[in-house]
Amino acid sequence: MAQVATLEQDMASGGRFLVVDGVHKHFRGNSVLRGVSLVVDEHQVVCLIGASGSGKSTLLRCINALETVDAGEIRIEDERVSGRGVDVDWLRQEVGIVFQSFNLFPHMTVVDNVTLGPVKVLKVPKREAVDRAMVLLSRIGLEEKADDYPDRLSGGQQQRVAIVRALAMGPRVLLLDEITSALDPELVSDVLNIVRDLAEEGMTMLIATHEMGFAREVASKVCFLDAGIVAEEGPPQEMFSAPSHPRTQAFLRRIIEAGRL
Amino acid sequence: MVIVALLWWSIWFFDATLRLVGGWRAMGRGVEAAIALLALAIPLTGARSVASAVRSQRFFDDGDVENARVAAADCREWSLYVVGLGTTTLILAFLFWFFGANDGKVREVLFNWQYPLDHFGNLATGFWVNVKISMVAEMIVLVWALLIAMMRRMPGRASAPIRWLAIAYTDMFRGIPALLVVYVVVFGVPLAKVPFLSSLQGDSQLFWSAVLALSLTYGAYVSEVYRAGLESIHWSQTAAARSLGLGHVQTLRYVVLPQAVRRIVPPLLNDFISLQKDTALVSVVGVLDIVNRASVLKGTYFNLSFVTGAAVFFLVVTVPLTRFTDYLIERDQRRMRAG
């Protein structure tokens, strides 16, 4: 039976890596997050589902400190990573994020996009960074595109490069923000295959997505976000077949009606 | 018909002028030949247009609407040629008529290149001063304006006073005529005993004061160009860079600024061309630049060709600069698109 988890229950389970504890965020009087709490264990893939505007993206951006948190706290391995006095540059080395709109740097070649972080932030020697980048690029079958500029690549290829760019920093958790929403349908599977591979390798991931089939397949846990709180969470089988919360039921009914599950 | 008659008349007139003033005959003949050619081309294209119209009518009468339409399209195209050629030729002919107006007086007073050529060295020495002032000022402005733009974009409530300072600076120097700034700085430096600058002697003091004055004015303009460029880069680029762990300065240095600079090259060069031209302002405070020298020569020989000659000097620099800008933009766009 799926139910809203309390932090106490999760604490007992151990292995907690990322903890979001009662996070609030509002923009000019508009409350986007109203006390979101969730836990991502190490090597776990957690999928965030919910309607547009339910706060999925904002939550991911808060975890990455791209947005500040108004109330509540975010912790990684019991270290507070939100609020004042946090070394955000260190945090972002630990937490990688991939955006809906790729956000590759258009004035740099693919390989420069991938090596920028390692060279400038981690101070890896350029040659070594390039070698590592090429290994990563060949994994996604794009080593031949290394010297091309991003706008020569298809949307799917760009998004794969963006994933590699985040991975090149060696993050311990990856946040994926609706990474297939801006792609043509036939390009979606290439990107999802990479995410699937990463999940199998044990990458810790927090994924905001509208791809319900994918969420059902790869997620260890699914969280349904509604009006700025986690309304319901549980293993994907339960969440998708027997949701208990009326809002979750309504949301999934609409998804099914739209033929997306 | 009228156009053609006018053209022949202008050629005849031009020819008479050439005889009057002498010199530059070969070029004059060339111009005449060009106008004559155009004068011939106009009735020819006109004839094609009319012929197409007639053909179209014939097709139409035969009930062949399809071919009539094609011929009508031909007619329209050829008549557009007539308009294009005719207008251009008329304007050119007017310019040459002006060139020879008042029995060649216009040419003699404004465009007698012999005068500036005889004093080429003198004018060139003056122009070198203009070039030096603009180049030094440009280098200063490039750095100074970026600094101002960055001050104005500093984030957070804590840096508000710095932002206000930058805003006050840009507002002030964009609002004051450059000429006044030149006056105040150049005459104010020795009077107020400004450190460093007032310790320089004579020409060198004048030079550096002029550079300072123009840098102050153009720094304000160019900082706005920078700011517009920086703001045109979507925040998602900053988010992506920050998410990789790059700091505020690194993000600016490696991600935002390189993209912004590409976008602001045209307005930046526009301002630099403008600056190059505004170096003429320093002549009023006694810098011996090309404008000052041309003006002295003009007084001596009572001929304005020195001044138009000085104008040519400026064109020789600014026109290639403009073309170069266009080339840079195009090359960049090609590279970004084609990898």
pLDDT tens-digit series, residues A158-170: 999 999 999 999 9
Q: CB B255 to CB A97 under 8 A? A: no
Question: Nearest Cβ partner of A89 from B236, B245, B335?
Answer: B245
Mean pLDDT, consecutive 10-residue stretches, chain B (339 aa), reads 63 60 59 75 83 88 88 87 82 76 73 85 90 94 94 87 95 94 88 76 84 94 94 92 91 93 86 91 87 89 88 91 84 66
User: Would you call A208 helix, strand, or coil by DSSP?
Assistant: strand
CA gap B298, B283 in Å, rounded: 14
- Mutation pick from A120, A176, A206 vs chain B, by most beta carbons of B within 10 Å, is A120
Question: Euclidean distance between the first and final Cα of chain A, in Å?
Answer: 21
A120 part of contact set with chain B, CB < 8 Å: yes
Provide ipTM, 2 decimals.
0.86
| Structure-derived torsion over alpha carbons of residues B146, B152, B154, B160, reported in degrees to the nearest 10 | 150
CA gap B236, B249 in Å, rounded: 16
Q: pLDDT value at position B28?
A: 65
Q: Greater confidence, A67 or A4?
A: A67
Which residues in B lie closer than 8 A to residue A113 (C-beta atoms)?
none
Q: What is the mean pLDDT of chain A?
A: 88
Structure tokens at A18: 């990322």
Closest residue by Cα to residue A23 from A62, A81, A57: A62
Q: pLDDT value at position B42?
A: 79
Q: pLDDT value at position B56?
A: 87
Q: pLDDT value at position B26?
A: 60
Rounded to the nearest angstrom, the minimum Cα separation between B158 and chain A is: 15
Kindly report each contact of residues A229-232 with a partner whose C-beta sits within 8 Å and lies 24 or more positions away, as own/partner. A229/A33, A229/A34, A229/A35, A229/A36, A230/A4, A230/A5, A230/A36, A230/A37, A230/A38, A231/A4, A232/A2, A232/A3, A232/A4
Q: pLDDT value at position B170?
A: 95
CA gap B62, B267 in Å, rounded: 59
Structural domain spans, chain B? 2-111, 116-338
Structure tokens at B176: 């004051």
CA gap B90, B320 in Å, rounded: 28
Q: Is the pLDDT of residue A34 over 70?
A: yes
Rounded to the nearest angstrom, the minimum Cα separation between A13 and chain B is: 30
Which residues in A lie closer than 8 A to residue B239 (C-beta atoms)?
61, 66, 99, 103
User: Which helix (H) or strand (E) covers residue A225, if one does?
Assistant: strand A221-226
Rounded to the nearest angstrom, the minimum Cα separation between A56 and chain B is: 17
- Read off the pLDDT of each residue in A106-126 and give the average, rounded to a whole number: 94
CATH number of A7-105+173-257: 3.40.50.300
Structure tokens at B336: 């970004």
Rounded to the nearest angstrom, the minimum Cα separation between B233 and chain A is: 11
A152 part of contact set with chain B, CB < 8 Å: yes
* Residue B124: partners with Cβ closer than 8 Å, 6 or more residues away: B313
Q: CB A166 to CB B255 under 8 A? A: no
Q: Is-contact B263 B199, C-beta < 8 A?
A: no
CA gap B10, B99 in Å, rounded: 11
User: Which helix (H) or strand (E) covers residue B300, if one does?
Assistant: helix B290-301
A260 part of contact set with chain B, CB < 8 Å: no
CATH number of B116-338: 1.10.3720.10
Q: pLDDT value at position B135?
A: 93
Portion 126-165 of B in contact with A at CB < 8 A:
none
Q: pLDDT value at position B177?
A: 93
Closest residue by Cα to residue A107 from B244, B260, B264, B246: B260
Rounded to the nearest angstrom, the minimum Cα separation between A57 and chain B is: 13
* Residue B147: partners with Cβ closer than 8 Å, 6 or more residues away: none
